[in-house]
Amino acid sequence: MSSLLDELYRLQDRIRFVQSRQRERDTVPAELAEVDREYREKLEAVRQIKARLIEADIEHRRAAGELSDHQEKQKKYQAQLRNVQTSREYSAVLNEIDGVEKSIRATEDRVLTLEEEIEGARADLKTREEKLPRETEEHEEKMKDWRAAQRAINEEVDAAKVEIGDLEGRMKPRDLAEFRRLVEKKGGLAIVRVVNNSCSACHVKIRPAALQILKAGSEMVYCDSCKRILYYDPHNP
């Protein structure tokens, strides 16, 4: 029994170790968070400009197509104007010409605005893309120590996971399943040390009889109050 408790205690310790180190690994340190955010914004800006350029090109092609349609109509009405017979027809065709000219002006404005936008965006993109390799290098340089720390954490985590696998492999599936369930239920702390004859999680005193059983190490004892498994370490009471 006591060796099972040793292993459960160690297993819980390794599980908690992996969790806390992974949290650490995935949290960019405050002093780097700003640097990282600025760099990501630059990447994001390039991505957005590229996406907008694709859209703007489509809009520009469409507007240019509309413009030439309007111009075709304008030509058609101007030809009609030369062949009208009555003044009523004449003013009707003039009206049409008026309308189509308005459309032409509006569409020309749109084409021009889009051309300006596209030109500006291309220039902006070029500048940004030229700067990006150096910015990436600088960013990586600033992040270098942190990346190294992350790699070191990964190595620790990998080693701990191997140990977790070994420990779990040695346990009976039923013991393991029960333990995992208790870990889940008790916020990661399923087995806790006895310190000064008390449960170190909830600080409730352990009954003398339970303490006797614990010290004998013959069966599993749960805290009366918080229902966690109690772990008595004779070398570290």
- How far apart CA 49 and CA 191 sit, in angstroms, is 55
Q: What minimum distance in Å lies between the beta carbon of 6 and Zn ion?
A: 19
Positions touching Zn ion (CB under 5 A) are 199, 201-202, 223, 225-226
Q: What minimum distance in Å lies between the beta carbon of 224 and Zn ion?
A: 8
Q: What minimum distance in Å lies between the beta carbon of 198 and Zn ion?
A: 8
Residue 98 Cα distances to 94, 137, 177, 209, angstroms: 6, 59, 83, 104
In the complex with Zn ion, the residue whose CB is nearer, 60 or 227, is: 227
CB 189 within 8 A of CB 7: no
- The DSSP call for residue 190 is S
CB 115 within 8 A of CB 138: no
**Torsion-angle region of residue 188: left (phi > 0), alpha (psi -120 to 50) or beta?**
left
Host H or E run for residue 195:
strand 191-195
Q: What minimum distance in Å lies between the beta carbon of 203 and Zn ion?
A: 7
- How far apart CA 224 and CA 233 sit, in angstroms, is 19
CB half-sphere exposure, 26, CA atoms < 13 A: 7
In the complex with Zn ion, the residue whose CB is nearer, 148 or 204, is: 204
- How far apart CA 68 and CA 105 sit, in angstroms, is 12
In the complex with Zn ion, the residue whose CB is nearer, 145 or 184, is: 184
In the complex with Zn ion, the residue whose CB is nearer, 56 or 201, is: 201
> Amino acid letter at 73?
K
In the complex with Zn ion, the residue whose CB is nearer, 42 or 227, is: 227
Q: What minimum distance in Å lies between the beta carbon of 159 and Zn ion?
A: 31
In the complex with Zn ion, the residue whose CB is nearer, 111 or 230, is: 230
Q: What minimum distance in Å lies between the beta carbon of 160 and Zn ion?
A: 26
